[in-house]
Amino acid sequence: MLNADHDSDAGGGRSLTNRSDACESERNAPGRDAEAALLRRLLDFAASEPELLADLRQVREHGPPGAWLAAGYVRNLVWDRLHGRAERTPLDDADVVYFDPACPDEAAEKPWEQALAAARPGLRWSVKNQARMHPINGDEPFAGVADAMSRWPETATAVALRLSSDDQVEALAPHGLSDLFAMKLRPSPLQRDPSLFARRAAAKGWLERWPLVRLADGSGPIGVPQEERIHPKEEASMTSLGYINGRFVSLEELVLPIEERGHQFGDGVYEFFRVYEGHPFMLEEHLDRLYRSADLIRIDIAPDRDELRAIMDELVTRSGLASGDIYLQVTRGVAPRNHAFPSVPSSLTMTIKPWRELAPGVREQGVQVLLHPDERWLNCHIKSLNLLPNILAKQAAVEAGCFEAVLVRDGFVTEGSSSNAYLVRDGAIRTHPATNHILGGIARIAVRRIAEEQGIPFIEEAFGPEELLAADEAFLTSSGIELVPIAGVHGRGPIGSGSPGPVARAIHARYAELTRQR
């Protein structure tokens, strides 16, 4: 339970406010950390909403002592922000709750409503003394506001804010904040009437107002029979989705400021993850490379690894994609254009989309590649946003009718424009060493492990174009294409028999098996 103070009106809960010494939780250490992070996000949301702060001030000045602004006002604010909306969803009313067992008369609430309406017209103020609400659902008398809120129909609605006397925003959430920020509708475990939740969800239209909101069981809109609901992993429910700095949004709503440094300078790094059966393949290796690249260009990635994993898991869950591609990008943030590093937080965005499928026959027949000068910078081991030479090389390959451009620097093959390149000679695999001249691919790591497992020599040694042409077979790898055999080089002739060879077939067969393992 998150609670903003120890006063009696809160029902004896613990404090969790923007004061660091108050961050506690009943859960284990990871749970405490997660709830504390969500609390910080909620308080950040509140601090950036002048209208909310003004309304909290009105409640403090003109409402009952110790009162909270609660329920839909706070929930809607969070869900609007997570949907990337610039304007707030209109409120049915502004719920103010307090606890005064000495005066449980409903008539005593009206003067507070009138005072708030006079001070802040335009809102329909609803003031309720929680000390008189327990008979409605046959509960025992409540111990305080938190106790009363814990019995509200939905966990995500059981949240409240208030402004302390020293202008600190305080939060109260007896069921925690995870359901609110995950945009999951879940009935309160303490609600006595199990049908109330379903009736409210159907009547309120929350799933229609906020398309990213879902029931906690993953099902669709209230009232649709379970057997008619589309399974989250079926094709019909697949959807692309985005994430930007704490908000899950549709791709149409994923908009970046013009002064985003990734946009103006390419000042950032990225990762590409392929999702199989709901799980990103070789996730830890991808995260290792992401943090290594960010360290090399001195960008601090604000979420730690555990938080990134949680965000990606939620992105996959919300999208309903069992198989998909996640693109993750971290930049140096948003600041007025200046080459020097700004003192601003980094920016994190992600998207998930359905797989980009290979054209029919590509893996079975092999592909043609184009030899092209490697004109990239000397830090290719950093997965930088700066990809212009790669793009030009790829376009040259496309215009030549080829699948990929194989890059050549100082007489040696380095890699493809978006892949690693290998040849096979006398049963051994050769590929360029993992130096600053190539990006060490995650699929490359998988190939090396599979080769070692199968007793195939894996030699990290550069080779030239003539050696490539004289190879028994050759292939390309990346997370997006897995493994694709090279049948020939544009204008130079076939490699080996001109068909996929046994080593490439064996490596890919095992690679495909690994993607299905957990």
Half-sphere exposure of 282 (CA within 13 A, CB side): 25
For 438, counting Cβ atoms within 10 Å of its Cβ (0-12 exposed, 13-18 middle, 19+ buried), the class is buried
The SS3 assignment for 40 reads: helix
CB 444 within 8 A of CB 389: no
CB 36 within 8 A of CB 24: no
CB 15 within 8 A of CB 22: yes
Q: Catalytic residue, from 110, 128, 353, 383: name it.
A: 383
How far apart, in whole angstroms, are the C-alpha atoms of residue 509 and residue 450? Answer: 10
112 Cα distance to chain centroid: 42
Residues 6+ apart with CB under 8 A from 69: 52, 55, 56, 59, 94, 95, 96, 160, 161, 162
3-state secondary structure 92-150: CCEEEEECCCCCCCHHHHHHHHHHHHHHCCCCCEEEEEHHHCHHHHCCCCCCCHHHHHC
| Residue 408, number of CB atoms within 10 A of its CB | 16
Maximum distance among all alpha carbons in the chain?
93
Based on the residue annotation, tell me whether 204 is a catalytic residue of this protein: no
CB 149 within 8 A of CB 174: yes
Q: Give the pair of three-digit tokens for residue 25.
A: 């939780």
**Catalytic residue list:** 383
